[in-house]
Every structure is written in structure tokens, then in C-alpha cells.
């Protein structure tokens, strides 16, 4: 099947980044091998990267070698947030892995984002706006008086002006962000749950179909896929439901 708007050049893959938040490397590689043929990206976050490092990323991609097609892109979700010089150094330290996307926190400010962009010019530096686990009450607790939508839009515009070529925002703000930033900025949307699925620790959520209809380019989906008894079947089911949805 072919998707109307290919994400990162993979026209035959569902616009999904499957989150490999696995308890060990063997589980992560098994999940990747099962999901890889169906998704646009493999998302490796802090849990896996801090435990297994660059060698763990290589092991995950080695598990995809049996797939005769182009492997899914690497989405390295490290959410870097530090002074600009440190973030630039951290970005350079993962350059050998050639991530398609690398996340930084937009709250780190424009100089930090610019430093990451300069350090990895061939990677889409992806600015995380407001975490999907946070609602207005949680924002107020850390001193942000704005409602989530207002905060997300302000951070999105700032991050793009600083050079970010992708943004992470919840499905509840994605339509507004899509209208506020250039079309070539990739919008990555976590907090996506199929109808009837457990929302877990997420607060600002929507179905995959709704998120795409509202302007998302890539959906981050973890537990609804990796928690399935048959991961490949879960991916095929989601892929089928999303085909032609854009």
C-alpha cells in the first residue's frame, strides 16, 4: 500500500514511529524486527539509549537486515536540554548513527536549538514543545501560566525560527501548529491511541486517524503496538486503517 504523503521518503510505510521502550535489548531488537517492515521510523528513547548506547542502536538495526526493503528511519528521541555548547557536543556524539530525527526540548531556547542544528545539519532537529503528559495544571506547577495550546504555539514558532525542521506536539494542538509553521516542517505527534486503547500516562490524546487528519506527519505509537500479542499484525492493522487518511 502507498501513503499519500510519504514521511522521510518511505512511501510504502505507515507514517508511524514505533517507540522501542523495551526492558532489555533483546526485546527491543525483537520488536524492531517485527514492526520494521511496516513503519516509517524506529524511535529509540532514553531508556534504551542510556542502557544500550550506540551499540544498542546498531543491534536494533542489525535485526532489520533481513528486510529486503529500505529500513525505517532512525528517530533518536533523547530530548536534549542543556547549555548550547553541551547540546552541540551531544548532537555531534550521535552523528555516526545518522539519525533522521533527533529531539531537543524547545524550552532550551533558540541558541540551544541553533547549536544542535549547526552540529547535525543533515538531521532534522526535532523540537519537543510541551510533553503530552502535561496539562494546564502541570504547566502551572512549573511556572508556565499559558494554557497548553498557547505554550505549544509559542514554542513551535520560536523553534522553527531557530532552525528546527520538525516539531513534537500533542494531537490536540497539531492542527493549530500545522497552520502556524511552514509545510516542510515535519509534525511528530505522540499521545496517539487507537479508539478504546488505554491512554496510560498521557493527558492530551487523540486517535491516529484524527491526528493525521489534523495535520500530523508522523505518529509516535508505542504500547498499542509493542504490547500486542502479534506486533506485526498490530502494525498491519494500523497501517491499513491509516492508508489514504492524509
pLDDT digits (tens, 9 = 90+) for 14-31: 899 999 999 999 999 999
* Element housing 168 (H / E): strand 166-168
Average pLDDT, the chain: 88
Q: Is residue 43 among the annotated active site residues?
A: no
pTM of the model: 0.90
At 121 the pLDDT is 96
d(CA 89, CA 112): 11
At 242 the pLDDT is 78
Selected catalytic residue, list 79, 81, 157, 203? 79
Q: Are 211 and 190 spatial neighbours (Cβ–Cβ below 8 Å)?
A: no
Does 101 score more than 50 pLDDT?
A: yes
Q: Are 137 and 177 spatial neighbours (Cβ–Cβ below 8 Å)?
A: no
Alpha helices in the chain (DSSP H): 25-35, 46-62, 84-93, 110-119, 136-141, 148-161, 174-180, 208-213, 223-226, 231-242
Does 13 score more than 60 pLDDT?
A: yes
Amino acid at each position: 500500500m502507498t501513503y499519500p504523503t510519504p514521511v522521510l521518503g518511505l512511501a510504502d510505510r505507515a507514517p508511524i514511529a514505533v517507540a522501542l521502550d523495551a526492558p532489555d535489548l533483546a526485546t527491543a531488537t525483537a520488536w524492531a524486527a517485527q514492526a520494521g517492515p511496516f513503519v516509517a521510523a524506529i524511535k529509540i528513547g532514553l531508556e534504551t539509549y542510556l542502557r544500550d548506547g550506540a551499540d544498542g542502536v546498531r543491534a536494533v538495526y542489525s535485526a532489520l537486515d533481513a528486510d529486503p526493503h529500505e529500513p525505517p528511519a532512525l528517530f533518536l528521541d533523547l530530548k536534549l536540554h542543556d547549555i548550547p555548547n553541551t547540546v552541540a557536543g551531544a548532537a555531534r556524539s550521535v552523528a555516526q548513527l545518522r539519525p533522521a530525527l533527533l529531539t531537543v526540548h524547545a524550552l532550551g531556547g533558540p541558541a540551544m536549538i541553533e547549536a544542535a542544528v549547526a552540529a547535525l545539519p543533515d538531521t532534522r532537529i526535532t523540537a519537543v514543545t510541551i510533553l503530552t503528559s502535561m496539562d494546564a495544571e502541570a504547566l502551572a506547577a512549573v511556572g508556565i501560566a499559558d494554557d497548553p495550546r498557547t505554550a505549544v504555539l509559542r514554542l513551535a514558532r520560536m523553534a522553527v525560527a531557530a532552525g528546527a525542521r520538525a516539531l513534537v506536539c500533542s494531537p490536540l494542538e497539531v492542527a493549530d501548529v500545522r497552520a502556524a509553521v511552514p509545510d516542510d516542517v515535519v509534525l511528530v505527534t505522540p499521545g496517539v491511541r487507537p479508539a478504546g486503547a488505554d491512554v496510560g500516562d498521557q493527558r492530551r490524546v487523540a486517535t491516529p486517524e484524527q491526528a493525521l487528519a489534523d495535520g500530523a506527519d508522523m505518529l509516535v505509537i508505542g504500547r498499542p503496538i509493542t504490547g500486542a500479542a502479534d506486533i506485526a499484525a498490530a502494525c498491519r492493522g494500523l497501517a491499513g486503517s491509516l492508508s489514504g487518511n492524509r
